[in-house]
Each structure stands twice: as C-alpha cells, then as structure tokens.
Amino acid sequence: MTIGKFRIHREGYKIIAGVIIALTAMNIAGWLIWPGPTLWHWVALGVSLLLLAFVLMFFRTPARPLEPDPLLIYAPADGKIVVIEETFEKEYFRDSRLQISIFMSPFNMHSNRYPISGTVEYTNYQAGKKFHARSPKSSELNERSSIVIKSESGTEILVRQVAGAVARRIVTYSKKGDKVHQGDELGFIKFGSRVDIFLPTETVVDIGMFQQVRASRTILARVI
C-alpha cells in the first residue's frame, strides 16, 4: 500500500485497519456518551491521531534499491549495533563466528533484508521467551528464526531474527533452496526486536559499537 510516497508494509494492513476501527469507535462513543465538543474530546482525538501515526510509521517500508556486491555485507535491519564479538554459534555452524547484533527500537523500520546474495541453505523457527532484545541471552532463549545464506563463493552467513520483550510475531519469508538477492526482503518483526548476524571470524568489520545502521544502506563488513 502506498500513501503518496509513503509505503506501508503488507504485514501492517490488518493491524492498521483494526487500529482505525477501534479508535474511530472509541471517539464516536465518547461524543455520544459525553455530548461535546469539550477539551477532552479534542485531547482524545489528538491522542488517537498520534497513535495511528505511530502505527503507520512502524509499518513503513521504504524502497532501498542497491547494486549487489559479493564482497560487501550489508546491514539486514535498521537499528543500533549492540554486539560485535567472537562467539560460539551453537545452532548451525557449531564453531566460532563473528556476531554482530542490531537492536531495533519500536521507532525503527522493521522490514529485514538479505545482507548478501546466494542460496538459502537452512531455516529454523524456535518458540521462546520474551527477554529484552538488548539482553545477550535473548539470542538463544527468545522466540527466533534463523536463516543461513550461502554465497556463490561458498561463504555462509546466518541471520537470526529475535523477538524482544514487546515483539508479538516474527515473520520469515525465506525457504530452503530459495535464490535470494542482496537487499531483498527476508522477513518482518512486529513491535521491537533484534537481528543477529553470524559471519566468518576473518571478516573485516566496517562499523563500531552503538552505531546507527540502516538495512541495505550501511555496510557492516567486507568478505576477504
């Protein structure tokens, strides 16, 4: 859905419609119960419009075309870098990997993009807890969805969508065997979350801690 130049993600259609119906009903009920207009009627209307604007902003999905480059690894999500460290990845690689984690606040764009082009080698969804997305244990204990992409050169990268304390649903479009392109959409996380990316340890990192990054715009690292 496009409103002028403002694009709305399809994952938000039902939620936005529900919010509009609920807010309209509440405002109409307020006018019927307490005849107005009064200051409180206008306050309620203002709060309703702000809430609707927040929901619309949350489900925005800007177009971010890019020229694929096999030597670059782009950010898979908008947000802030909260982890850059070598860690033991237990689910798929079962060896040491360079982990970069991006914390997505409710004000970030929540569409997730492929950091590289290649073939989807693995997908796995796991239900879990609701620890805050900044917590290190959220990557292993929270609801999460893991996707492994193998580039034409043979490099494998794992992208993990992690639900946070207020996230209600992880959506992953990836299926094993899919041919995917750098910058295309891999999924969406609703209302606050985190995305981890696991890279070969020899990867050259281009970003720093607490840096703000943008999906398909910020270069996270370079393949050697």
13-33 vs 39-58: helix axis angle to the nearest 10?
180
Mean pLDDT of 112-131: 90
Residue 123: pLDDT over 70: yes
183 shares a domain with 150: yes
In a domain, 65, yes or no: no
Closest C-alpha to 184, from 153, 164, 159: 159
In a domain, 64, yes or no: no
Q: Which two tokens stand for residue 107?
A: 């004000």
Q: Give φ, ψ of 163 to 5 degrees.
A: -75, 145
pLDDT at res. 138: 59
105 shares a domain with 132: yes
204 shares a domain with 155: yes
In a domain, 90, yes or no: yes
CA distance 177 to 149: 10
pLDDT at res. 52: 93
In a domain, 67, yes or no: no
Last residue of a domain, one of 13, 32, 58: 58
pLDDT at res. 12: 86
Residue 97: pLDDT over 60: yes
92 shares a domain with 34: no
In a domain, 43, yes or no: yes
* pLDDT tens readout for residues 166-218: 655 789 999 999 999 999 999 998 766 899 999 999 999 999 999 999 999 99
* pLDDT tens readout for residues 2-49: 555 668 988 889 989 999 999 999 999 988 888 878 888 899 999 999
CA distance 13 to 208: 36
Residue 133: pLDDT over 60: no
Q: What is the mean pLDDT of the chain?
A: 89
pTM of the model: 0.85
In a domain, 120, yes or no: yes
CA distance 163 to 141: 10
139 shares a domain with 86: yes
Q: Which of 111, 139, 193, 216 is catalytic?
A: 193
In a domain, 66, yes or no: no
Mean pLDDT of 152-158: 95
CA distance 58 to 11: 11
126 shares a domain with 80: yes
210 shares a domain with 180: yes
pLDDT at res. 136: 60
41 shares a domain with 14: yes
pLDDT at res. 7: 86
198 shares a domain with 111: yes
In a domain, 108, yes or no: yes
Closest C-alpha to 120, from 63, 176, 170, 62: 176
14 shares a domain with 123: no
pLDDT-wise least confident of 78-92, 123-137, 151-165: 123-137
Q: Are 22 and 14 in contact (CB under 8 A)?
A: no
134 shares a domain with 183: yes
Tell me whether residue 146 is one of the annotated catalytic residues.
no
With a CB cutoff of 8 Å and minimum separation 6, the contacts of 41 are 27, 30, 31, 34
Q: Which two tokens stand for residue 119?
A: 């073939």
Instruction: Give residue 143's pLDDT band: very low, low, confident or very high (50, 70, 90).
Output: confident
The domain tally of the chain equals: 2
CATH of residue 218: 2.70.70.10
What's the gap between Cα 195 and its chain centre? Answer: 7
Residue 86: pLDDT over 70: yes
Q: Is the dihedral of CA 79, 82, 86, 91 positive or negative?
A: negative
pLDDT at res. 167: 54
Residue 7, domain extent: 2-58
145 shares a domain with 98: yes
